[in-house]
Amino acid sequence: MKNLNALEAWFITGSQDLYGPETLKQVAVNSQEIVKGLNGSASHPVKIVYKPVVTTPDEITRVCMDANSSPSCIGLITWMHTFSPAKMWIAGLGSLGKPFLHLHTQFNRDIPWADIDMDFMNLNQSAHGDREFGFIGSRMRKERKVVVGHWQDPEVASSIELWLRVAAAWHESKQIRIARFGDNMREVAVTEGDKVEAQMKFGWAVNGYGIGELVAVIDQVTDKQIDLLCEELESEYMMQDVLRKRGDRHTSLRESARIELGLRTFLEEGGFGGFTDTFEDLHGMVQLPGLPVQRLMHDGYGFGAEGDWKMAAMLRTMKIMAAGLPGGNSFMEDYTYHFDPSGMRVLGAHMLEICSSIADGKPVCEIHELGIGGKADPVRLCFNVSEGPAINVSVLDMGNRFRILVNEVEAVLPPQDLPKLPTARVLWDPKPDLKTAAAAWIFAGGAHHTCYSQNLTAEHIMDFANMAGVEFLLIDKDTNLRDFKNEIRWNEVYYHMAKGL
């Protein structure tokens, strides 16, 4: 998975010359202490870098321009220790092309009741200095995140960490390349979309490759490479005996290994972060890739089945956001329902391609017939998924805009074994309840395909949508259909008009 340690966010403290050099020196010392504290307080994937206090329009503009041109800077964290007249920020913020977080904090946590004097008041003015800065952000219609609280408050640290993850993913998003093997599943609507607009909005470069080009790479794979990978597979997973070295169907495992090795080479050589395939376009391939896709997703690649490039790119983006966190992110599909009034559930799965990063325990490597596609039986990993909160994320092209839709769900254990189900699966309870959630999802045009995440929250996805400037809709415990439909109606008007704002 992508290492985010080389990335940095710049911590910019605003002030002015009015207070004299002694006060400004103290402002600088305090800011450095805050940066040190923030870097030490949470499992930041990205380093926060202190930058000298800015007190003039020229300094502000320069640091914003430097941030724009720095390949490692993912954005700014801004804080006004004192008052910093905000007209000084107009040119800088106007040119800033990277996201920023406005940290509304204060160096001291408590008011020193017995000692407070006017010197203290002059130094510790965030309560109004940050409001002046906030005004110019709003006046300029600048998108940003605002985090309020003392910098040593763990909630503040975790909000900053969340934003750092999203800003890092946004930074990387603009370099994501997706390979589409074949085109879209024929006649399917929701997986289509405007790839030019997607690249303009998200940075995702999505391009097609003939399946023959991939098959040519797969054909280069040697028996020796396949031997080694099969040994690795046998040690990594539980495995049906028929697939093992002397089993009747071992050749199917070898064929899967061949496909994986070829796919991996193709993706590595092309610098791709994700890919799609479709069972309708596999000419020259023996199996529909199941196990190979599951393993490549586990290694950080995005994937969308049936040509679903939006899910492939979103999954890759989410995997970058979640780098290093426990739990996983997978391509997913709402497959079938349990309409029992005592507990309505959705069973999520796909024909084959669920990422083993969300597996509860060791997956079992199995081979079963696949009714569609007209190819040899594909090898796949089967597993259950552990209980707990999760989100489903969908990206839609609504014609005049992209919409990112999230449903909060609670994964639950199946009440019984599912001995005949030949796929990985997860059962969930959608919030606020299945009837409301499914109706809201349908009104929003949400796809049957999603990205399922165990370690990201709706807030991560909302912040990402805000950075990209696209619509965000959330279905959660507070959703009711009347308000949700109104939100969609109002958003129609907003996004129509926002193009001219």
The residues binding Mn ion (CB under 5 A) are 305, 333
Q: Which is nearer to Mn ion, 305 or 390 (CB)?
A: 305
Q: Which residues, in sequence order, are CB contacts of 376 under 8 Å at separation 6+?
A: 252, 255, 286, 287
CA separation for the pair 149, 127 (Å, rounded):
11
| Chain centroid to CA 421 | 29
Residue 353 beta carbon to Mn ion: minimum distance, rounded to whole angstroms = 8
Residue 274 beta carbon to Mn ion: minimum distance, rounded to whole angstroms = 16
In one-letter notation, the amino acid at residue 460 is: H
Residue 128 beta carbon to Mn ion: minimum distance, rounded to whole angstroms = 54
DSSP result, 397-454:
E-SSSEEEEEEEEEEE--SS--TT--S-EEEEEESS-HHHHHHHHHHTT--SEEEEES
Residue 304 beta carbon to Mn ion: minimum distance, rounded to whole angstroms = 9
- Partners of residue 332 on adjacent β-strands: 450
Residue 272 beta carbon to Mn ion: minimum distance, rounded to whole angstroms = 21
User: Which whole-number Å values give the CA distances from 302 to 168, 176, 274, 294, in the listed order?
Assistant: 16, 10, 4, 10
Q: Which is nearer to Mn ion, 99 or 193 (CB)?
A: 193
Contact between 168 and 139 under an 8 Å Cβ cutoff? The reply is: no
CA separation for the pair 369, 249 (Å, rounded):
12
Contact between 403 and 396 under an 8 Å Cβ cutoff? The reply is: yes
Q: Which is nearer to Mn ion, 61 or 329 (CB)?
A: 329
Residue 198 beta carbon to Mn ion: minimum distance, rounded to whole angstroms = 19
Q: Which is nearer to Mn ion, 147 or 305 (CB)?
A: 305
Task: Locate 372 and state its tokens.
Answer: 């569609």
Residue 467 beta carbon to Mn ion: minimum distance, rounded to whole angstroms = 28
Q: Which is nearer to Mn ion, 389 or 445 (CB)?
A: 445
CA separation for the pair 145, 158 (Å, rounded):
13
Q: Which is nearer to Mn ion, 45 or 348 (CB)?
A: 348
DSSP summary character for residue 78: E
DSSP result, 473-492:
EEE-TT--HHHHHHHHHHHH
Residue 308 beta carbon to Mn ion: minimum distance, rounded to whole angstroms = 7
The verdict on whether omega for the bond into residue 52 sits within 30 degrees of 0, i.e. cis, is no
Task: Locate 239 and state its tokens.
Answer: 């495995």
Residue 448 beta carbon to Mn ion: minimum distance, rounded to whole angstroms = 6
Residue 134 beta carbon to Mn ion: minimum distance, rounded to whole angstroms = 44
Q: Which is nearer to Mn ion, 44 or 310 (CB)?
A: 310
Q: Which is nearer to Mn ion, 10 or 441 (CB)?
A: 441
DSSP result, 343-405:
S-EEEEE-SS---GGGBSS--EEEE---SSSSSBPPEEEE--B--EEEEEEEEEE-SSSEEEE
Residue 268 beta carbon to Mn ion: minimum distance, rounded to whole angstroms = 26
Number of other residues whose CB lies within 10 A of the CB of residue 399:
8
Q: Which is nearer to Mn ion, 333 or 463 (CB)?
A: 333
Q: Which is nearer to Mn ion, 84 or 278 (CB)?
A: 278
Cα distance between the two ends of the chain: 39
3-state secondary structure labels for all residues of 261-306: HHHHHHHHHHCCCEEECCCCCCCCCCECCCHHHHHHHHCCCEEEHH
Q: Which is nearer to Mn ion, 333 or 366 (CB)?
A: 333
Q: How many residues appear in the chain? A: 501
Q: Which residue is nearest to Mn ion (CB)?
A: 305
